[in-house]
Structure 1
Amino acid sequence: MTNILLINGHPDPDPGHFCAALCEAYAAGAREAGHQFSSAPPEAVAEAQAAVSAADHLVLIYPLWLGTMPAKLKAFLEQLGRQNFFLETVKDGGRWPAQKMKGKSARIVVTMGMPGLAYRLVFGGHSLKALEKGILRISGFKPVRHSIFGNVQGSAQRRERLLAKASALGRKGG
């Protein structure tokens, strides 16, 4: 089974936000399928780095916030990347960058009020691409998959479908 680290990247810790519900649904699906599951990383950077190091699969779930990931999540990732944790420059003719996350996979789930298709077509999914390429792939995560959950403020039925999808992703461990 896969060891999964799930991070709720919503900047507000209120458990009433939909990202928290998606995290719970994903975790329930992962536990149901027998995957090993870690809770959100501890506050200390060293402990968070240890949690990522121990994980086979990283899941980031966050709301589109002013057109990008929330600043709190970006700050967390910046702190996590300290001391060449994700990658480092290799000298003496070595390959640059040295990808320290090889062998790990990742899933990004972005929630938003607008339709997901509008985010992809009108806005080009720019913030999602930046996270995928500029942090995860360059660090060696492969594959990096994503899900865009639009219209999350829609009907209760829509939210239930999205929660079921998150649970199914958790069962697959991806």
Structure 2
Amino acid sequence: MKNIVIILGHPDAAGGHYCHAVAEAYRVAAAQAGHMITVLDVARSEVTFLRTKEEWESNTVPDYVRDAQTAIKDADHIVMIYPLWMGDVPALLKAWIEQVFRKGFAFEMDGQNWHGALKGKSARVIVTMGMPGFFYRWFFFAHSLRSLDRNILKFCGIRPVRWSIVGNVEDPSGKVQKKFLETAGLLGSKGM
């Protein structure tokens, strides 16, 4: 059994969005399979934005940062779920990542060299979007997802990083949404 942290990156704290349903489907199935689950809801974290190098390098961090770092440190597997907004992660999630994945926690520097401090963890990134997923992957080359994968998660030592790109989430028939909720449950039960 795995210790799994779900990072719910939808910026609307009111809930009720497809990302919330995906996170819940994953959480329920994972818990039923015996995995330990922690959910970090970015929208409820009172996220603050970093504005200076001094803030970035400070050891004084908000409580939500310390709590998130503890949950991530204890996790075997990280699941990040967010909607594609303007071709990227929502700004609130990006600010949260900048706060949480700091030097000294997520990576270390030895002079000019760096090394990831989160080795031994795996990740699944689930991105939802209105456009067809293949269009994002093949026309836009999944550019923002590739950046998150390479420049943040793998930079911090997290491997493997797997993706689930869920397009057409506004399908009025509900078929796309229902199908991926089943997939999210399957992924949760397997801890993937």
Category of TM-score, reference length = shorter chain: over 0.9
What amino acid does structure 2 have at the position aligned with 1:51? A
Q: Is 57-66 or 37-46 further displaced after alignment?
A: 37-46
Aligned residues: 171
The match for 1:12 is 12
**What TM-score, normalized to structure 2?**
0.85
**What TM-score, normalized to structure 1?**
0.94
Moved over 6 A (4+): none
The match for 1:136 is 153
Alignment of 1:119 with 2:119, yes or no, is no
Residues 104-162 of structure 1 show CA distances to partners (whole Å, capped at 9, x for unaligned) of: 00000000000000001111100000000000001100110010000001021221111
Q: How has the CA–CA distance of structure 1 residues 150 and 131 changed in structure 2, closer, same or farther, with 3 Å as cutoff?
A: same
The match for 1:109 is 126
Q: State how far apart, in whole Å, the 1-side matches of 2:40 and 2:108 are.
A: 25
Gaps of 5+ in 2: 46-63
The match for 2:187 is 169
Residues 43-93 of structure 1 show CA distances to partners (whole Å, capped at 9, x for unaligned) of: 4211111111011111000000011000000000000023431112113x8
The match for 2:72 is 52
Q: State how far apart, in whole Å, the 1-side matches of 2:103 and 2:135 are.
A: 38
The match for 2:163 is 146
Given that residues 8 and 39 in structure 2 are in contact (C-alpha distance below 8 angstroms), is that contact kept between their aligned partners in structure 1?
no
Q: State how far apart, in whole Å, the 2-side matches of 1:148 and 1:133 are.
A: 16
Q: State how far apart, in whole Å, the 2-side matches of 1:163 and 1:124 are.
A: 24
Identity %: 47
Following TM superposition, by how much is the alpha carbon of 1:39 offset from its aligned partner in structure 2, in angstroms?
2.1
